[in-house]
Chain A
Amino acid sequence: MVSDGPRHGANFNEDDYARPFQPFRCGWADEGNACSLGPTRLGICRSAHECAPYKEGDTWTCARTKAHGGACEEGPLPDGTCCASIQRCQPVRNVLSKRGLVSLCVFALAVGAGFIMLASPSRSDVASPGDLSPQHRQVVQRCQDCHVAGDGKLSDWIHASLDGKAAEQQSQLCVNCHRDLGDHAMQPHGSSALTLASLTSAAEARDERASSQTIVSIAKSIFGSPTETHAALACATCHKEHHGDDSLTELTNNQCQTCHARAFDSFAHGHPEFANYVYKRRTRIYFDHASHYGQHFMQAGGETGSEAAKHACNSCHVPDTTGRYMLVRDFEQSCASCHQEQIEDDSLPGLAILALPALDLATLREKQIEIGYWPKSYPLHVEASGQLTPLARLLLSGSDDFPNAYFTIGKLDLSDLTSASDEELQAVGKVIMQFKTMLSEIATGGHPEVKRRLLTVFGGAVAEAQTLALANSLPIDSLMDMRDWLSEANGTEDTEASSTLPNPTEALAAERARVTGVASGWYLHPSSFSLRYRPSGHADPLLKTLLDIRAGALPHRAATPLGVAHRALRDAYRQLSSPFAVGRCTKCHSVEYFGGQNHVNWRPYTPPLDRHDFTKFSHAPHVTMLKDEACANCHELVSLSSASESLYRPEFHHSDWTPATDASVFENNFAPPLKVGCVQCHTEQTSRDSCLTCHNYHVR
């Protein structure tokens, strides 16, 4: 029988049993007929009968509890089954259980979806945290281009996230592309620890008191500074990628100062003065602004011209293509109008490249030193010399026994051998014979012979291009003429006036008149038996080559071909390096010593395009904006301690007019720029006082 009355106790309707915290409730509950047992936690209906009868002797007894109405009148069936069977229900979840089930499903769905997304072929798109910056967007195609874990599977990502080393390797991938960051790319500023320590010490040693920067101090005290705890800085410390079009290099002033020993409030307040910024060495081209404004321009254009020149800086200076640097215009534009004539000054004697040395023929003959025919030099000729010219020594240095003979002679004046020893006289004879042979061989063999002789001496010590330039510059026709001077057909020794040589007084006058008209190039100077050279103008290739072939490149070993060549080149340099030498090269082109030898600065400073100093300054916009007063705003002309000298400046020339070669010793025409000029425009209000406006982080 199926019970259709209240199934659970007499007061069921008044005392219904709800189970809000049980996952399931009776399916009849909404009908008001929920069973008292309720379903199991798994949602299985467990109410088949109202009770489970028990047996007493041979009789089954109803076991319904009093709470559920007590023993029923009908009693159990004969087989012991309860007579009041209950219609089974389909238990329903209660609200909490439904919510738990939904939560579980959603969580499982999320986990599954996550794994599917990250294992799918398009996982890069899903995992990417955002667009790359425009710079990287152009070149980076895949995650693994920048991320160590990018190439792996999902399991590798999980492993990498637990490993912790991926982050360290990340920056190395950046540097693989950004190779221009140098050897210390991940050091602060890309500088070595030594450089940084030196810069830090210098900053800490400065006298000036920086204003305290409270925010930076608090930040550093709470979070520390990256440089305190990390020897190497990851690129991501400053560069935040995957932020789309946002700047990849933007940093605040405070962020910059987090690592710095001295912090300050702003550019206007606390930033140190520029000290000797810009003027850290002398200029490569010697140009004294003070003497030009005060004397030379005054002479050329009067006071008006001089004053005008002070405001016409662009006559000689022009911004480079990047707009950063002010370059010096070339010689023709800025200097030639006054200095071209000085270079081509034909009142100066040309440089004796090769010359027949004046010999003491009487002594040689007395000591029976055989040298064959040798013309007698005009006595007292100012340009006649009792020495071999440097180039002659250079060309002879490869000849057999020349080095020994040359060093035996030493500094002996060949035009006066009266006090020379026999050994020295023998050496003189040997040298003169070798000189004659050399001249003859060159006159016959031409440029190849010159080249052979130079290469024999130099080997690889001098650049072949320079050797060839020097060899090919010699005029062979003139050398043939010189050889003819040694021909007996031209006269006899001790002959006061040979058939080819005119009267000395007349010859000198004629010679002077002739060579004075020689504007430039090679010419023979018969009265001193020399082959001479006068520059063809600015940037003369021969003089440049002679000054460029470094004596220092050759070993100093005496009595060897290279030892002789070393001295020859050194003497050639000494001849030409005076500001009064022919061509006057070193009057303007400074010489400096580095790398074990002297170097002539043929060109003014040429900034490399990829230069990244700590400080950057772009001249072009300032010049454009400030117009005529632009230069003077920052570069204030000062009176120099040496300004009274019109030409002599100790940082460029010593007192004997030999070039000063230490570029770090100098006195500048201009006072260092002052910060006060900058802070007028570079203020917080104009948002142009950021550290990055004037400073580079990566220095190289």
Chain B
Amino acid sequence: MQKHNRHRIRNLSLLVVSAVVLWLLHGLAETALRDTARLSGWLLFGMIVFLAAYNVRKKLPFLPLGSSAAWLQFHIYVGLLTAVVFGLHIGWRLPNGGLETLLASLYGIVFVSGVAGLALSRSLAKRLTTRGNEVMFERIPVYRKRIASEVETIVLTSLDTSESTAIAQFYAERLRPYFSVTRNFWHHLLQSNRPRFALLSEMKAYHRFLNDDERLVMLDLEDRVAAKDDLDYQHTLQATLKYWLFVHIPITYALVAFAVFHLMLVSSFAGGAW
């Protein structure tokens, strides 16, 4: 852990130094009357292409291009550095041209989603180990289906052994909808157990209407509810870890596409500054 922290401090220091150096170089280039927008623009474009290449790199694991972990570190810190280059490129003010505004918006979305993704991957990965078993995201529907089947079997069995339909009614009204799909996405994301405790409390309150056998069945169901809740928790966090990329990556490609248009425009309309 200490080693990890040392690396993080080192990388952050490098990031700050790089940002300061870039800022100084930009100032010197301005002093030399260089076309700083062009210089910073090409640098920014190169950085964005490099960042976008990370996704390609993940799809080409057989190429000797360094470890994915190293790429991720570069991706994170170069990504953060783009904010400085972008600020220098636009002169630290909001653009008001049509295409420029679109580009800035796209960059903003990509950057913010990237930072958000970084924060999520840092926090959610830890939380995933705190509840339930670690399961593959693709298998979660299978397990949910299995639990739902088990619950249905338990309830049907209880009907054979008991004259009361209390459990069956409770199942029909409250549990079957609960087990049919993933529930309480936002509560799980925000680390709130209120729906889980509410349902479990409701089930415990039901105990006084049940006989001993039925109470055992209900306890069994409560275990299933907890298992399903843990599964939903896993699903929520894993889905979040996967679906933030549905914003980050597609918008990155859109950004690259519009950046190419932008490059074409500024090249053809350039005023000749050197």
Looking at the complex, which one of B32, B96, B245, B249 makes contact with A130 (CB distance below 8 Å)? B96
Measured CA separation A98–B246 after assembly (Å): 9
> Do the beta carbons of A107 and B257 come within 8 Å of each other?
yes
A258 within 8 A of B: yes
How many Å lie between the Cα of A644 and that of B134 in the bound state? 109
Residues of B near A244 (CB, < 8 A) are 96
Given known pairs A157-B264, A234-B273, A235-B271, the reply for A215 and B246 (CB within 8 Å) is no
Q: Per-residue 0/1 for A166-187: is the Cβ within 8 Å of any B Cβ (1 yes, 0 no)?
A: 1110110000000000000000
A30 at interface by CB-CB < 8 Å: yes
**CB neighbors of A among B234-255 (8 A):** 242-243, 245-246, 249-251, 253-254
Prevailing SS type, chain B contact patch: helix
In the assembled complex, A222 has its CB within 8 A of some CB on chain B: yes
Instruction: Decide if A198 is an interface residue (CB 8 Å cutoff).
Output: no
A296, B273: Cα distance in complex, Å: 60
With A102-B246, A215-B31 given, is the CB distance from A170 to B136 under 8 Å?
Answer: no
Q: B270 at the A/B interface (Cβ < 8 Å)? A: yes
Total A-B Cβ pairs within 8 A: 179
A103 touches B249 (CB 8 A): yes
Asked if B53 is at the interface (CB within 8 A of a chain A CB), the reply is no
The answer to whether residues A110 and B272 also contact, given A99-B245, A255-B30, A258-B33 and a CB cut-off of 8 A, is: no
User: Closest residue of chain B to A96, judged by CB?
Assistant: B242
Q: Does B95 contact A (CB under 8 A)?
A: yes
Chain A residue nearest in CB terms to B272: A234
Question: Is B269 engaged at the interface, CB distance under 8 Å to the other chain?
Answer: yes
B139 interface hit (Cβ, 8 Å)? yes
Residues of B within 8 A of A238 (CB): 33
A284-299, CB < 8 A from B:
none
**In the assembled complex, which residues on chain A have CB atoms less than 8 Å from the CB atom of B268?**
147, 149, 156-161, 166
Q: Which residue of A lies closest to B140 (CB)?
A: A30
Contact of B33 among A25, A226, A241 (CB under 8 A): A226
Q: Give Cα A129–Cα B261 distance, bound, in whole angstroms.
A: 12
Asked if A158 and B136 make an inter-chain contact with CB atoms under 8 angstroms apart, the answer reads no
Distance in Å from the Cβ of A168 to the closest Cβ of chain B? 6
Interface residues contributed by chain A, number (CB under 8 Å): 77
Q: Select the residue from B242, B269, B273, B274 with max chain A CB neighbours within 10 A.
A: B269
Bitwise interface map of B from 30 to 57 toward A, beta carbon under 8 Å scored 1, else 0: 1111110000000000000000000000
Q: Restricting to A119-178, which residues have a CB under 8 Å from any CB of B?
A: 125-131, 143, 147, 149-150, 156-162, 164, 166-168, 170-171
Min CB distance B102 to A, Å, is: 8
Q: Report how far A223 CA is from B261 CA in the complex, Å.
A: 28
Contacts of B253 in A (CB 8 A): 103-104, 106-107, 110
Of residues 182 through 219 on chain B, the ones whose CB sits less than 8 Å from some CB of chain A are none
Contact B273 A106 (CB under 8 A): no
**Chain B residues near A161 (CB-CB < 8 A):** 263-265, 267-268
Smallest CB separation, B5 vs chain A (Å): 31
A149-B268, A157-B264, A236-B273 are known contacts. Are A99 and B249 too (CB-CB below 8 A)? yes
What residue of chain B has the Cβ atom nearest to residue A31's Cβ?
Answer: B145
B-contacting residues, A43-80, CB 8 Å: none
Q: Could you list 8 examples of A-B contacts with CB < 8 Å?
A: A18-B139, A107-B254, A114-B258, A156-B268, A226-B32, A226-B274, A241-B271, A244-B96
Residues of B at the A interface (CB closer than 8 Å) are: 25, 28-35, 91, 95-100, 136-139, 141-142, 145-146, 242-243, 245-246, 249-251, 253-254, 256-258, 260-261, 263-274
Supplied contacts A99-B242, A130-B100, A243-B91, 18 more A-B pairs, CB within 8 Å: A25-B138, A110-B254, A127-B99, A131-B96, A149-B269, A159-B268, A161-B267, A166-B267, A166-B269, A167-B272, A167-B273, A170-B270, A222-B32, A223-B32, A230-B274, A234-B273, A235-B271, A236-B270
Question: Which A positions have Cβ atoms within 8 angstroms of B?
Answer: 13, 16, 18-20, 25, 29-32, 94-95, 98-99, 102-107, 109-111, 114, 117-118, 125-131, 143, 147, 149-150, 156-162, 164, 166-168, 170-171, 215-216, 218-220, 222-226, 229-230, 234-239, 241-244, 252, 254-255, 258-259
